[in-house]
Amino acid sequence: MSYGQNAPQGFQSQGTQTAATFTGQTQMYAIKSGYATSIFTGDPVVMDAGYLKPVTDGTTVKLLSAMPLGIFQGCQWNSPDTNIQGLAKSPYWSANTVVQPFGGIDSAYAWVITDPNATWNIQVSTSAGATADTATVKADQIGLYATWGIKQTGNTLVPKNPGVGNTATGQSGVYLDASTINANPVGLPLVILGFTLIPGNKPGMPFCNVIVGWNPKIVKPSA
């Protein structure tokens, strides 16, 4: 994470809200061969007709039926490239990747953290046409609700949101959207639990990082 800089990396695994030890355990789900949208580590994902797809616009997640399955953590597939020994692995799914069928398997498979009690470290930014001082969470906003976004804004926010995942690192470009923070939990899938405990990360600073969980007043993923 680039604390205090506008360099979001999506949902970064932090821990759990339960007394149990968090192991970051993942489940595997299929990605359709040739799927034309990239999926990055830290992207929320849902199932669609048996295959994963990313949900980078959190404003579409208002109801139980739209809540994410979990958070994408990379993928593997059988590549047609003869120079690759064994399964190809990557922190992100590159759009239009073709899977070589093998042993009756013709899909890629992704690792997804589906723990409904998981907590996440996420950078704050804003999708609004506003200045950097609004791209933050204040101390009195802990316990409020919000959603995420990836939208790149106009010229007011400096620096701009990247608007896409990073193909060099495989990391998501998703951020907590400060313009959506509200005391009313309706239609907002995240609850803000606190600030990420790292030197220099301060409440109210532009592009700070916070810890979030799934809003239990909507639904918990995989619950």
DSSP 164-203: S--TTT-B---EEEGGG-BS--TT--EEEEEE---TT--T
Looking at the fold, whether 140 and 99 belong to one and the same domain comes out as no
Looking at the structure of the chain, the number of domains it has is 2
- Average pLDDT (193-213) is 96
Q: What is the pLDDT of residue 1?
A: 58
Same domain? For 45 and 70 the reply is yes
Domain contains 219: no
Last residue of one domain, picked from the residues 59, 94, 113: 113
Whether residue 53 lies inside any domain: the answer is yes
Q: Is 4 within a domain? A: no
Question: Residue 47: inside a domain, yes or no?
Answer: yes
Within this chain, do residues 132 and 84 fall inside the same structural domain, yes or no? Answer: no
> Is residue 117 a contact partner of residue 199, using CB atoms and an 8 Å limit?
no
pLDDT band at 220 (very low <50, low <70, confident <90, very high): low
Q: Can you give the pTM of this predicted structure?
A: 0.93
The average pLDDT across 197-221 equals 89
- Under the phi-then-psi rule, with left for phi > 0, alpha for psi from -120 to 50, and beta for the rest, what region is 4? left
Average pLDDT, the chain: 92
- The predicted pLDDT at position 222 comes to 55
Chosen domain end from 113, 136, 165: 113
Q: Whole domain around residue 68: which residue ranges?
A: 22-113
What is the per-residue pLDDT across 76-115, written as a single tens digit (0 to 9) for each? Answer: 999 998 888 889 999 999 999 999 998 889 999 999 999 9
- What percentage of the chain has pLDDT greater than the value 70? 96
pLDDT in tens, 37-63: 999 999 999 999 999 999 999 999 988
Q: Are residues 78 and 30 in the same domain?
A: yes
> Of 113, 138, 170, which residue constitutes the final position of a domain?
113
Strands (E), the chain: 12-16, 27-32, 39-40, 44-48, 51-54, 70-77, 88-90, 92-93, 107-113, 118-125, 145-146, 148-149, 175-177, 190-195, 209-214
Predicted pLDDT at 2: 62
